[in-house]
Amino acid sequence: MNRRFTLKFIKYIFLFLASSIFLMIIGLILFFYNFNILFYNSMEDIDADYLINGVTGTRGDYAFSENFQNMLEESDMEAYIVDDEGDAIHPENAGNLKQRIFDNLWGTMAMPYKEGEHVILIKETPENLSIQNSHAVDMSKLINSLYLHNHNAYQYYIEDDGLYFTENPLQRDYVHVDEFSERDITLFKRIGIILLVVPALNILITVIMAILLSRRISRPLFFYIDWIEQLARGRLYKPGSEHNHKRGKKLFQELDTSLETLNAQLIDDHLYQNQISYYREKWISQITHDLKSPLTSIYGYSKILAQYPVKTEAYSGLISEKAKYMEQLIDGLNHNFKIETSQMNIDREAFSIVDLLNGIKQTIGYRHMTVTHDLVDSEYYGNRLYLERMFVNLIDNSIEHNRHNPDISIHVRDTEDDLIIDYRDNGHGIGSMDMQAFRGTSSTKKEREGHGIGGSIILDAIDFHNGELSHISKSSGLHFVITLSKK
C-alpha cells in the first residue's frame, strides 16, 4: 500500500514538475526572443553580439530585425553590410560606400559580422571632410578603425588633409557571429551541464519529496487501518504506534477522534454486556432455585390426581395456587433484576477480582497482559463496574502513551483490611509533570490533556472504594500501587 501511495504522489508531483519545466522553457524562449529589446535600447549600446539577433538570413538574403530598424530610425542612421572593399552586400543596390564613409566619417561606426563582412552604421553629418589621399586609403583598415568597443586593430587620424592609420594598443579580441570563442565554448559546456544536472536534480528532489510526503500521509493511515483491523478481530485497543501516531492525530484529527470514540464505545458495550450477563446468570440461578419447590408440588399433585380422581377439585385448587405463586415469584424476580441492573453503577457486591481482570483481558483482547494474584479472600466486596472501568483506563493509558504496545503485569494481593493492586508496564514511564497531569493538578491545559478523562475515571474508582494511588518512581516503565479498602 505504501508503494501505491508513493507512486501516486510521484505521478502528481511529476505532472507539477513537467508543467513547471514547460512554463520555464516558454519563459526562456520569450526572454531570449526579447533579449535585444531588454538589453539594447539605443545604438550606443549595441555591440557585435547584438548582430546575432539583429541581422537574420544568409548572404544574398540578409534582413535587419524590427528592433534594429526601430533603433536605426530613432538615431537617424542607416545600416549596411559590406565586404572588405566597402562594396554593399545588403542592400545590394547600395554600391560601394567608400566615398560616403569619407563624407560622413564622424558619424560612421562599424562592427565585425562574419569573415570578410562588416556592418556599417552611417549618420549623415553636415560637416564634410576633404580627404586628399582617399584613393590610397586601405578600405579594410578604414572599416576596421571604425569598429566599436575597442575591437579595432587600427586607429585613424587626419593630418594635412590626409587620412592615416596607427595600431591600437588597447584592442580587444572579438569573434564573428558564425564563430565561437573559447569563452563561448566554455559557456556552452556549462549551460549543457546545467541543463542536464538541474532536471536530474529536480527529478531526484521530486522522488524524494514524493516519498517523504507519501510516508507523512500514509504512515498514520496505516496505523488507523491496523487499528480498525484489530477492532474487527475483537482486540479493543490501539496497535503499536509504529506509524507515528502522534503526527497522525494532528493530520487526521476527525478520524482519530472517531476511532477513539468507537473504541471506547465498544469497550463500554462489552463491559455492559458482561454486567448484564453476570446479572442474568444470577437471575437464572435464583429463579431456578425458587421455582424448583412449587414445580415439585405441582408435579406431585398431578400424580395424585391421576390416582384419586374423586379429589380432583381439592388438588386442582392446590395446583392453581402454586401456579399463581410461581407467577408472583417470577414478577418479583424480574422487578429485582431491573432494580439491580439500574443500580449497578453504585451498588457494591462480592465478586472475584481475578475473574474480573481475566474477563477484561478477554474483552479487550490485549495479548501483552498477565494477571497474577496472592489472595487470602477469593472475593472482594465493591463496585464491579467502577473497577472494570479503572482497569480499562489504566491499560488504555499504557497503550496510548507508549510508541509500542508495552507488556503489562497486574498482581493482586490482600491484607486483612485492604486489597492491593500492583500495576506495571515496561514503557517509558511517567514523569512528575505527567503525574500531576494524571492527578488533574497540572497548571497548564496542554499537560492536563495528556491523560484526559481516563485519569479522572481511575481516581474516581479509587475514591469510591476509599483507596489511594501511589506512584513508584523508576528509571523506566510505570509502577502504580493501588490500595482499595475492604470496608
338 lies in some domain = yes
Q: How far apart are CA 220 and CA 244, in angstroms?
A: 6
Q: Assign residue 306 the CATH number of its domain.
A: 1.10.287
Residue 139 is which amino acid?
M
Of 344, 359, 384, which residue sits at a domain end? 344
17 lies in some domain = no
DSSP, collapsed to helix, strand or coil, labels residue 166 as strand
197 lies in some domain = no
Residues 132 and 56 in one domain: yes
Residues 367 and 479 in one domain: yes
Residue 469 in contact with residue 438, Cβ under 8 Å?
A: no
Three cell numbers, residue 449: 490533556
Residue 108 in contact with residue 73, Cβ under 8 Å?
A: no
Residues 354 and 276 in one domain: no
Residues 51 and 122 in one domain: yes
Range of the domain at 423: 350-485
Residues 174 and 123 in one domain: yes
340 lies in some domain = yes
Residues 358 and 280 in one domain: no
Residues 85 and 146 in one domain: yes
Residue 370 is which amino acid?
T
227 lies in some domain = no
Helices (H), 252-311: 253-307
190 lies in some domain = no
Of 155, 179, 203, which residue sits at a domain end? 179
Helices and strands counted in the chain (H then E): 15, 15
Residue 150 in contact with residue 172, Cβ under 8 Å?
A: yes
Residues 146 and 107 in one domain: yes
Q: What confidence tier does 24 reach under pLDDT thresholds 50, 70, 90?
A: confident
28 lies in some domain = no
Q: What confidence tier does 67 reach under pLDDT thresholds 50, 70, 90?
A: confident
Q: How far apart are CA 205 and CA 212, in angstroms?
A: 10
Q: What confidence tier does 450 reach under pLDDT thresholds 50, 70, 90?
A: very low
Looking at the structure of the chain, the number of domains it has is: 3
Q: Mean pLDDT check: name the lowest of 25-34, 100-109, 267-276, 459-468.
A: 25-34
Residues 82 and 135 in one domain: yes
Residues 47 and 165 in one domain: yes
218 lies in some domain = no
Of 325, 344, 363, which residue sits at a domain end? 344
Residues 378-399 have pLDDT tens digits of 899 998 888 888 888 888 888 8
Residues 336 and 359 in one domain: no
Q: How far apart are CA 342 and CA 464, in angstroms?
A: 18
Residue ranges with strand state E in 363-437: 369-374, 380-382, 408-414, 418-425
Is the whole-model pTM more than 0.85?
Answer: no
Q: How far apart are CA 486 and CA 26, in angstroms?
A: 84
Sign (positive/negative) of CA torsion 133, 137, 143, 145?
negative
Residues 465 and 329 in one domain: no
Q: How far apart are CA 46 and CA 69, in angstroms?
A: 13
Q: Which residue has the cell 547584438?
A: 50
